Structure 1
Amino acid sequence: MPARIDQQLSRLRGEGRLPLAAVGAFSARELSKPLSELLGRYRDALEHWSEAEEGQRELAHEHAGVKLEDWLGGLRRNADGQWASVQLVSGKLHEGRGYKWHSLVRPWVRHLGLQLCGTPVRSLLVSQTGTLELPPLAAEVARGHLNTLIGAWLEGLRRPLPVAGKAAFGWLSGGDDEEKAAREAAKRYDGGFGMSGEAASSPALARVYPDFASLAESGEFATWAETLYGPLYQLLQRRDDEEQGQ
């Protein structure tokens, strides 16, 4: 494994994608540091989920006139006959003691689709900051979540929805304390000292909702935050609470 990493770093140097001389050597070391552990954990996961499924599973789902079709592959089975999708993620999925929630949205949608392709499947996301597991869901539960997302997508074609991912997860982190939830959402959307907000990184959002006050003005923000992102947030929070209680 280290030899493969050195080969790739040499290729980057040859392509001129790393700085020259000592600065380049330092950059190469910084790039390689997290890779050995990351690839080691990925290899361990593949060894545990040792049997690779040949071919792909067909996803065919329809709701409200929208057809969702795809082929999902790369599934693996362990000695107990359980199925998993083991995915190597180049970035970070954890932030302090929590998660980089917005980075989990795309894997979450794929995870829901996998539950409609036969047997229950867990998703293992191997990232620089650790391995995160999305547990399997009942097919009917996953179908309901997908239908909700499709409905929101259709509504989003009619008007800009008053919601944003990072701000929504900030709101959810406030729990039942609405004042705290609003503060957390505003901090993520507007930014603050040494912190760029979500609006600043999205010209489309900033054009319609320049600040959190305008995003929350219609009174719909909390509902959309719960509808779109609540199931993912609650699933991992319940799992974490169960693990801490054991």
Structure 2
Amino acid sequence: MRLDVLRQFLRHPVRAFFQQRLQVFFEAPDPDLDEGEPYVRDVLAQWQLRAELLEALRRVPDPADAEPAFRDCLERMRRRGALVAGGLGEAAARALRDSVEAAVDPYRRACEDWPQVSASTLRMESAVPDTHWTFEDTLAGWRRDGQGGWGRIVLLASHLVRGSRYRIAPMMPAWLDHLAAHAHGRSLTTVLVSPQGSVRFEPLDPDRAAGQWQALWAAWREGMRAALPVEIDAAGAWLRAGADPAPGSTARREAEASYARRVEDDLYLRRCYPDFDSLCADGGFFHWARTLYGEASQAIQPYPAAAESGT
């Protein structure tokens, strides 16, 4: 068992039941897309090009060299036809470059906070609770600060903030890595940097991390018996608005509105939970929203902190 099993489950618990347990696929899976983004062809292409630019930033040893890396990346896009020639292409290139501008300074700051790049990997191995399976995986991308503390920096093309609100969905893979490392004995800080919003996860209490790690595997086992009544965007909206399950509460209205948008074009959700009332029957949605995403929601901290950034 590897982290991808839990990543897929947390990203879309209902779909994970169909695909992991039943081996039923209603569409060709694409593990890289952020399903909370409103994808149409042009928007998807822009997201992919933005991801390519950020990957160029990640590969430079010094973020101060971002501009040459961006220019080289944009030129490669032009040569393969991803950007049209002429004035329109130049305008598109400028707009694309501008779309990642807000990620440069937080990424540079994070690299300064954890300046030492480590080529080592963390090997993780443990029993999956109440099964005969063993969890095994490795984590790379490690850095160290001046005091020897561990850190990881994750660059994301998806926006972590929409309006003034954090989005849990694009954070969950990094949160799971953060939790898994703590559950296997390594304390660290994780920084997530995106074109809209940057956050950090601070070191976790070891016992609490171990308990949450066990809870996620227990939830996964339940989710392989039946499709759990939970959806990540609706769960994030509910947690963000105060996690009040009462009918008529702001949190419940926010979750219902979010679910209505998601279920409209999701065959897995429509098959099992065609509306928010069916999702909330017997309180299942509220229980699983807390179990799967509550710890991550509480762990979100702005980066840099307000005092550090002078705001």
Q: How many residues align?
A: 236
- Quote the Cα distance in structure 1 between the aligned partners of 2:234 and 2:202: 25
Instruction: Find the counterpart in structure 2 of residue 232 from structure 1.
Output: 296
Q: Distance in 2 between matches of 1:227 and 1:37?
A: 33
Whole-angstrom distance in 1 between the partners of 2:183 and 2:223: 24
What is the identity, as a one-letter code, of the residue corresponding to 1:208?
Answer: C
| Residue 98 of structure 1: how far off its partner (Å) | 2.2
| C-alpha distance in structure 1 between counterparts of 2:121 and 2:272, whole Å | 41
Shift of 1:139: 2.1
Note the C-alpha offset of 1:32.
0.5
Change (3 A) 1:104 1:64: same
The reply to whether residue 105 of structure 1 matches residue 172 of structure 2 is: yes
Q: Write the letter of the residue equivalent to 2:114.
A: W
Task: Give how far 1:176 is off.
Answer: 5.7
Task: Supply the AA of the counterpart residue of 2:204.
Answer: L
In 2, Cα distance between equivalents of 1:36 and 1:161: 39
Identify if the C-alpha distance between structure 1 residues 21 and 184 changes in structure 2 by more than 3 Å, giving closer, same or farther: same
- 1:187-222 CA distance string (max 9 Å, x none): 0001xxxxxx11124211122111112211243111
Find the counterpart in structure 1 of residue 276 from structure 2: 212
Alignment of 1:42-191 (within 5 A): 42-62=107-127, 63-65=129-131, 66-175=133-242, 177=244, 178=246, 179-190=249-260
Go from structure 1 to structure 2 and tell me whether the alpha carbon gap of 1:185 and 1:36 turns closer, same or farther (over 3 Å shift). closer
Cα separation, partners in 2 of 1:173 and 1:131, compared to 1, 3 Å: closer
Instruction: Flag the structure with higher strand content.
Output: 1
Paired amino acid for 2:295 = P
Query: Cα offset for 1:129?
Result: 1.9
Instruction: Give CA-to-partner distance per residue, 1:95-147, whole Å, 9 cap, x none.
Output: 23221111111111111011134331110112112321001112221111111
2:82 corresponds to 1:12 = no
Task: Note the alpha carbon deviations across 1:30-49, whole angstroms, 9 max, x for none.
Answer: 11113344234323322321
**Secondary structure at 1:217's aligned position in 2?**
helix
Maintained 8 Å contact 2:143/2:150:
yes
Looking at structure 2, the residues matched to 137 and 114 of structure 1 have their Cα atoms a distance apart, in angstroms, of 10
Q: Give structure 1 stretches of 5+ with no counterpart.
A: 191-196
Task: Please state how far the C-alpha of 1:244 moved relative to its aligned partner.
Answer: 8.0
Once the two structures are superposed, residues 45-71 of structure 1 have per-residue CA deviations (whole angstroms, 9 ceiling, x without a partner) of 223211222321111122222422111
Summarize the Cα distance change of 1:126–1:176 in structure 2 as closer, same or farther, 3 Å threshold. closer
Aligned to 2:126, the other structure's residue is in SS state strand
**2:285 equivalent to 1:221:** yes
* DSSP-derived class of the 1:129 partner: coil
**Aligned partners of 1:244, 1:45: CA distance in 2, in Å?**
15
* 1:193 corresponding residue in structure 2: none
TM (normalized to structure 1)?
Answer: 0.87
Shift of 1:166: 0.8
Distance 1:30 1:164, change over 3 A: same
Distance 2:282 2:88 in 1: 51
SS at match of 2:207: helix
Q: What corresponds to 1:2 in structure 2?
A: 67
Is the CA contact 2:152–2:190 (under 8 Å) kept in the aligned structure 1? yes
The TM-score normalised by the length of structure 2 is 0.70
SS of match in other structure, 1:205 = helix
Q: Distance in 2 between matches of 1:176 and 1:77?
A: 36
* Percent identity for Structure 1 against Structure 2: 32
Change (3 A) 1:33 1:55: same
Q: 1:155 to 1:34 in 2, by over 3 A?
A: same
2: distance between equivalents of 1:171 and 1:244?
A: 25
> Secondary structure at 1:204's aligned position in 2?
helix
Which of 82, 99, 109 is the equivalent residue of 1:34?
A: 99
